[in-house]
Amino acid sequence: MGNIKYILGSFGDPDEMMHGIEKLQENNIKIHDVYTPMPIHGIEAKLGVKRSRLDIAAFFFGITGTITMLSFVYYAAAVDWPINIGGKPHFALPDFIPITFELTILFCAFGLVGSYYASSHMFPGRAPRVMDLRATDDRFVIAIDAAQNPEHSKIDNLLKEAGALEIKYNERKYVSYE
Amino acid sequence: MSGHKESILREPLITGNDITFAKITDDILSPVENKPNKAWWIGFIVSALGACLWLFAVSYTFWNGIGSWGLNKTVGWAWDITGFVWWVGIGHAGTLISAVLLLFRQNWRNSINRSAEAMTIFAVICAATYVVSHMGRPWLAYWVLPLPNQFGSLWVNFNSPLVWDMFAISTYFSVSLLFWYTGLLPDIATIRDRAVGFRRRIYSVLSFGWTGNVKTWQRFEAVSLILAGIATPLVLSVHTIVSMDFATSVIPGWHTTIFPPYFVAGAIFSGFAMVQTLLLITRKVLGLENYITMFHIESMNKIILVTGSIVGVAYLTEFFIAYYSQVEYEQYTFMTRFTGPYWWAACMMYGCNILMTQLMWFKKVRTNIPLSWVLSIIVNIGMWFERFVIIVISLHRDYLPSSWAMFYPTWVDVAVFVGSIGLFFTLFLLFLRVMPSIAMAEVKLLLKTASEQSKMEQIKEGHVSKEYVAEYVDSLEKFDSVKQEQYAKL
């Protein structure tokens, strides 16, 4: 028993898994994380996961793009080398709206996806920290820290009652480090 | 939550009786995890030959200059820009499906968005090669970028739509790539966790360490929604700017304020036709009839009908404005479309895009797979001719009758165009082999709510009224993947 790091309840159905989370929470058992092959709506509220602030970040990245492009075009077209093009003003704002818009989108998209990868610790070649290989296929897996929650047989029963198809006692934290 | 059941009045998005989460993975990954079949090899060899032709023709152009094309001093833009606009337009459907339909919560997009986005990326690659090769000196292509250069710090002309176009296309390409790849991460992780050995290593690098925990999924959904929100105005802006390449000029036939919406509608129209061309074959060859159902095909045909009709209204408006403006040059240009030497091109354009599309009003046509496929090809041909008509017919009658000319494509023009189609299909076929052609995670999301079996369960439970059931069973008749017998006894 001493070597067990995580207890995994593997469910075949998302509704049963949600039921399992409720059961565990009723019994004051702390859930480490949940791994699913698809997004489960409503699970954040249940686990008390805070709302993502990526939208706010996206807004500021976008605004940065707008300001960057407008000030750059102002510098290039009106300060650094003003050219008379068809008698238009040097800083012909309507002409610069399309490119300003494109840069806004570009900065917003790259900033947003970059912050997403950074905040979720994702980058090319990162070793996947997977606890159950079927969690990306057809299983919905609840992971419970074995050291923090010593009543293993109780957890086992609760998960089985909720409909877990399989219960695993992982002695290694992640199974995917080979 | 997944416990919520969708009304049976809506047609199912996944058909079949024995679909489980595991079966979805198995079905969708079977082309990725197994050796390709004969159909794939034949398609791949033919497309790869096309791609080789493209490589040769583009290299030939680079070596000898664009003098190897059929351009003359009157018709200075022809197949190159026709091909460019055609490909960019085709790309638009992918973003429309992945972004606009996501914002409108159209769940049927879930099974077609992945391949449509891939199509976008490959189409934009084809379009970009035209831009580079028509420059004449492609090794100086970086001159369109606002870089301080060796001639002092003379900048590019930010007032020029061609510069806007560079910004638009490169933003569009990179944002589409981000959107597509981020959406692929969970599915790459699925392949990774099922693979062994070297394959596993490759997919492990590509999966960015995806685990599918709660926080990652939550952020994933936020990112998808925001990207969809910004990609929607982006896709509209891209074709608007493409149309401004023409509309900001003073050539009769180009100088029209209607161009932006007209081009955007045309882009979506041709793009959906290309999605239809690809998916009708893909679903058959890869056996994905349960995921890309008749409902998807019919919905796409409806969009083709709507956008085709918008394009039709735009065509009529052009003629009306030419008449109403009382500008004789404008009127002459539009009359020449039918009375000039290129009358056949205009007939192809109006015939394929407006007349043929109107057949889609009939449900029998919309739900007929061979006919839908033929119509999608016709739309693609018609939209190519639309760009040809706009570009070449407007140019070939110059201001001075002495400089009137015709455009005759050389073999290089033809080879670049045919080759780009080969390149497109080569990339698409390779994509089908290495990445899942359907977004598995998103399809799994529909299994418990919008599948045929979940609706069947609802009927068996007996809480739905008989009329609803009758209507639902009626609506299933058009599906080629539904067994009608099992509903007979209900």
Domains of chain A as residue ranges with CATH: 6-51+126-170 (3.30.70), 54-119 (no CATH)
Nearest residue, CB atoms, B215 vs list A49, A113, A137: A49
A142-156 pLDDT, tens digit each: 998 888 888 888 888
Q: Residue B148's CB: how many other CB atoms inside 10 A?
A: 12
Q: Structure pTM?
A: 0.91
> What pLDDT, on the 0 to 100 scale, is given for residue B106?
87
Q: Which domains, ranges and CATH numbers included, belong to chain B? A: 1-19+451-490 (no CATH), 29-147+156-446 (1.20.1630.10)
Q: Residue B175's CB: how many other CB atoms inside 10 A?
A: 25
The one-letter code for the residue type at A91 is F
Spatial neighbors of B107 by CB under 8 A, at least 6 apart, are B13, B446, B450
B-chain CB neighbours of A96 within 8 Å are 158
A-chain CB neighbours of B144 within 8 Å are none
> What pLDDT, on the 0 to 100 scale, is given for residue B152?
57
Distance CA A44, CA B307 (A): 39
A102-139 pLDDT, tens digit each: 999 999 999 999 999 999 999 998 888 888 888 888 89
B111-156 pLDDT, tens digit each: 898 999 999 999 999 998 888 888 888 888 888 888 776 655 678 8
Contact A37 B444 (CB under 8 A): yes
What average pLDDT does the segment B485-489 reach? 73
> What pLDDT, on the 0 to 100 scale, is given for residue B489?
66
Q: In chain A, count H helices and then E strands.
A: 5, 4
Contact B182 A34 (CB under 8 A): no
A-chain CB neighbours of B190 within 8 Å are 37, 136-137
Percent above pLDDT 70 for chain B:
98
A-chain CB neighbours of B449 within 8 Å are none
A-chain CB neighbours of B21 within 8 Å are 12, 37, 137-138
Contact B214 A33 (CB under 8 A): yes
- To the nearest whole number, what is the mean pLDDT of chain B? 89
Nearest residue, CB atoms, A37 vs list B21, B161, B175: B21
> What pLDDT, on the 0 to 100 scale, is given for residue B298?
92
B238 CB burial (10 A radius; 0-12, 13-18, 19+): buried
B170-197 pLDDT, tens digit each: 999 999 999 999 999 999 999 998 888 8
B-chain CB neighbours of A54 within 8 Å are 219, 222-223, 226
How many residue contacts between A and B have a Cβ separation below 8 Å? Answer: 204
Contact B211 A41 (CB under 8 A): no
Model confidence at A162, pLDDT cuts 50, 70, 90, reads: confident
pLDDT exceeds 80 at position B486: no
A153 to chain B, closest Cα gap in Å: 25
> What pLDDT, on the 0 to 100 scale, is given for residue B141?
85
Contact A124 B208 (CB under 8 A): yes
Tell me B149's DSSP state: B
Q: Lowest mean pLDDT of B12-16, B243-247, B261-265, name the range.
A: B12-16
Spatial neighbors of B42 by CB under 8 A, at least 6 apart, are none
Model confidence at A169, pLDDT cuts 50, 70, 90, reads: confident
Distance CA B115, CA B442 (A): 13
